[in-house]
Each structure stands twice: as C-alpha cells, then as structure tokens.
Amino acid sequence: MKILVIGSGGREHALVWKIRQSPLVTRLFASPGNAGIAELAECLDITPDNIEGLAQFAEKEKIDLTVVGPEVPLCKGIVDLFTERRLRIFGPSREAAQLEGSKVFCKNLLRRYGIPTPSFRVFNQSRQAVTYVRSATYPIVIKADGLAAGKGVVICHTEDEAVQAIEHMMDRKEFGPAGEQILVEEHINGIEASVMSLTDGRSIATIELTQDHKRVYDGDRGPNTGGMGAYSPAPIISDRDYQRVIKEVLVPTVHAMNHERRRFKGVLYAGIMFTKSGPKVLEFNARFGDPECQPLMMRLKSDLVPLMLATIDERLDKLGEPTIEWDPRAAVCVVIASGGYPGRFEVGYPIEGVDEAAKMKDVVLFHAGTQRRDGKLVTSAGRVLGVGALGTTLQEAQARAYAAVKTINFTGMHFRTDIAAKAFK
C-alpha cells in the first residue's frame, strides 16, 4: 500500500514511525513532514491546509490510504474532498470534526444529550462577556470557540484576569476568527486525563489511558501549551471510572453524532475531568493528541494500518478480541521546547546530542519543530522534540526519558522535569 501521512509535528512522526512497521506498506509519504520524518518517509512540499493540493497528489500517485494528523485539514473538510474522489482517508468528516472545531457546538451537543460537562455561557460580544464575569464566582475558565493550537483556554482566578482574557480573544483577536465567540465555563476540580478511542460510528475500540501536561512549567504552572509531555498507561483513576467514561460519555456521544447526521469515524478524543461526582467532558478532539500519540504508538502492539482501514470501512467489530493489543510496559514522552514557548521564541538554533540519545535502549526521538539546514539539524518551531522511552515501570520509563533528554542541547532549550510525576502520588 501507498500511504500518505499529513502533518509535521511529533504526533505525525509517531504515526509515520508506527505505520512504517506495517508489512502492508510499500511506499510512505508525509506532507510536509520534518527532519525526523524525512528519515522514514518521502516528504512533500504541500501544507496541511492545502487540501486541494493534497487531493491532487493522492490522485496522481494513487495513494491507498491517507492519514490526517492535525485538526485544521479535518475542520476544512479534507475527508469530504477525498471521499468525493474515492480516495480512502482516515479521519472524521467536516461536519463531524465540528466536535473539535467549535467548542460552542460541542458544549451545546453535550447539553442537548445530557452528557456530563461543566456548566457554561456563550458570548459573541466582549461587552456582554465582561459584564458577566464581573459578577462571576472565581476561578472560571474562558475558552475561544475555534481552533487555537491548544492555547485558547485560560483559567482565570480574578476578575482582572478574566477581563484581560476576553479582551485578548475578542478585541485584540489574538486567535483570529477562533475568538469571535467565547465560552465562559465553570471551573471544576479533579484529575484530568485523555480518553481516546477508535470509532467507526457503529463500534468503539478503546485506547489505553494517557495523561497530558498542558502547562509550560513544572507543577502545572504558567500558560497552556500544545502539550509538554505525556505518559501511558495512566494509573490515576479506577477501572470503574474508566468504564463510566465509556458508558456515560463515549457511547452517548457516538449515538448523538449519528442522531445529528454527523457520523463520526476516526479518533474520538475526550478530555475528561474525573470529579467526585463523576467524569465530566472538558473538550473533544477529532484526532490523536500531541504528545499523547507518542507514548501510545510506542506501546501499540497491533498493526495500526488494519485498524484504520477497519474504522473507515465500519467493521471494527469484525476484528475480534482484543481489537487493539498493547505492550504491558509503560511509556513516557518529554517534550523539549524553544525558550519562550508558548509565547515569543527564536528558531534556527543547532541541536546537539540527538544521535547519542537515539542510540539509547528503548528510546525513540519524535521530531516536531526541526529542519535540516546545510546538513545541520536546527530548531524550527516552539515544540522541537519529543523524547520517548519505554520501561517495565513508569519510574523506569521516566528515568530513561530524562537520561536521554540530558544528552540533547540547543540555545534556550526548555522542558518540564515532572512528566509522569502525578502517577506516583
């Protein structure tokens, strides 16, 4: 099979790395890829949002399967375009991807079908939003409606913080059209985890639990990022609570989307807060998380390609039990970022020590913001590398990942030192 993977981040490197292991693959492409992906696949100069250009390439090259990594092309309708041209593609349609593309759509759907989620109000004028938060009970959460690369969520502890967040999103338009509408949401306490599954709109195949680390600094301090690290499995909730998510969240959401005539086929990712009163949905994503995908791909024993094909063809229930097999070992991925991320940062710095880290036992480096310039590996984005490691225990995987991190160096390099530490408490 000829397979095309769309995207350029650590998630896409992990997908390429796993897909490359499939005996079904004869040729592998990535668009646009990065320096690490280029070692495993043929990289194209087509951006993920150029869905027409990607479709033309897939037609010309007779691509058998296209795998969409990031959310932007999904929300632009790449699956609809490919399907119209009889090209097989893994991911939800544009209408189904609204579950991630619009937080307002998502929250209204959850409310309509009685799926547990924090209470909220929707605003499309900043003046009304400011009036509301002046009488709110703090803390509260303010969310941009549209796609904001994981950075459009602000936890506000004071009225001043809330007013500033509203002004940044709605008046200064820091997230562009994504901030034209906002949600003001109840702040809830509990344990947050990423619950992902494969669904073909008829059946659900659950994926091992992971936990992401959104904040930029240790101890969950600082602004939200696209993700500073993740680990799996995440022994932070009971099996009973996990089964509640399947019964009270995943299954009803799949049914709700079918009822709305938006059949969801792909990765259904629920960001869940496990509270004393039960699990509540913080958000949905329509694709693998980044960096959650990296430890998951390291632990996935099953061939990913047949799983994706079965999802497209609505025959997940025909794969037998277990639908997905997992390595019992633990995996930890530590993200190394550019100094200043998620704010302003500089790129183009040479990266040293990558070859040494890659030679370490049970360590895999997933490139994100990397490029080759004049034969040298240099930084090119906010999140630069994901250092993944396996271990018989989470402690062993964590120690191995940080040992590999210590071999890597570039100007301004930043990373959290507490990835997976929550699992030890």
Residues of each domain in the chain carrying CATH 3.90.600.10: 330-424
Dihedral of alpha carbons 115, 282, 316, 60, sign: positive
Q: Which tokens sit at 128? A: 């009304």
Q: What is the pLDDT of residue 180?
A: 94
Element at 85 (helix H, strand E): none
Q: What is the pLDDT of residue 320?
A: 82
pLDDT tens per residue, range 199-234: 999 999 999 999 999 999 999 999 889 999 999 999
- Output DSSP code: residue 41: S
Beta bridge partners of 193: 272
Residues of each domain in the chain carrying CATH 3.30.1490.20: 119-186
Average pLDDT over residues 237-249: 93
Nearest to 108 by CA among 260, 266, 267, 265: 260
Could you tell me what percent of the chain has a pLDDT over 90?
95
Beta bridge partners of 366: 386
Q: Which fold has domain 119-186?
A: Dna Ligase; domain 1 (3.30.1490)
Q: Reply yes or no on whether the pLDDT at 150 is more than 80.
A: no
Residues of each domain in the chain carrying CATH 3.30.470.20: 191-318
Long-range contacts of 45-51 (CB under 8 A, 24+ apart): 48/6, 48/7, 48/8, 48/72, 48/73, 49/73, 49/76, 51/76, 51/77, 51/78, 51/81
For the domain bounded by 330-424, which CATH number is listed? 3.90.600.10
Residues of each domain in the chain carrying CATH 3.40.50.20: 2-94
Q: Reply yes or no on whether the pLDDT at 161 is more than 80.
A: yes
Q: What is the pLDDT of residue 170?
A: 96
Q: Reply yes or no on whether the pLDDT at 9 is more than 80.
A: yes
Cα separation values, 379 from 15, 17, 337, 417, Å: 21, 20, 9, 21
Average pLDDT over the chain, rounded to whole? 96
Q: Could you tell me if 260 and 93 are in contact, meaning their C-beta atoms sit under 8 angstroms apart?
A: no
What gap in Å lies between CA 202 and CA 186, rounded to an integer? Answer: 32
Please count the residues of the chain.
Answer: 425
Average pLDDT over residues 378-393: 98
pLDDT tens per residue, range 184-195: 999 999 999 999
Least confident of 79-88, 319-328, 404-413: 319-328
Q: Report pTM.
A: 0.95
Segments of 124-249 assigned E as strands: 140-144, 153-156, 182-186, 191-199, 204-206, 211-212, 215-217, 221-224, 229-232
Cα separation values, 246 from 153, 197, 261, 278, 362, Å: 25, 9, 21, 12, 32
pLDDT tens per residue, range 310-368: 999 999 999 988 899 999 999 999 999 999 999 999 999 999 999 999 999 999 999 99
Residues 6+ apart with CB under 8 A from 164: none
Q: Which fold has domain 191-318?
A: D-amino Acid Aminotransferase; Chain A, domain 1 (3.30.470)
Average pLDDT over residues 137-153: 91
Enumerate the H helices of 246-326 as residue ranges. Answer: 251-259, 293-299, 304-312
Q: Reply yes or no on whether the pLDDT at 388 is more than 90.
A: yes
Residues 6+ apart with CB under 8 A from 394: 231, 235, 330, 332, 420, 423, 424
Nearest to 253 by CA among 107, 93, 404: 107
Least confident of 105-109, 273-277, 364-368: 273-277
Nearest to 308 by CA among 299, 297, 298: 297
> 245-254: buried (b, 16+ CB within 10 Å) or exposed (e) per residue?
bbebbbebbb
Q: Reply yes or no on whether the pLDDT at 140 is more than 90.
A: yes
Q: What is the pLDDT of residue 206?
A: 93
Q: What is the pLDDT of residue 322?
A: 85
Could you tell me what percent of the chain has a pLDDT over 70?
100
For the domain bounded by 2-94, which CATH number is listed? 3.40.50.20
Q: Reply yes or no on whether the pLDDT at 425 is more than 80.
A: no
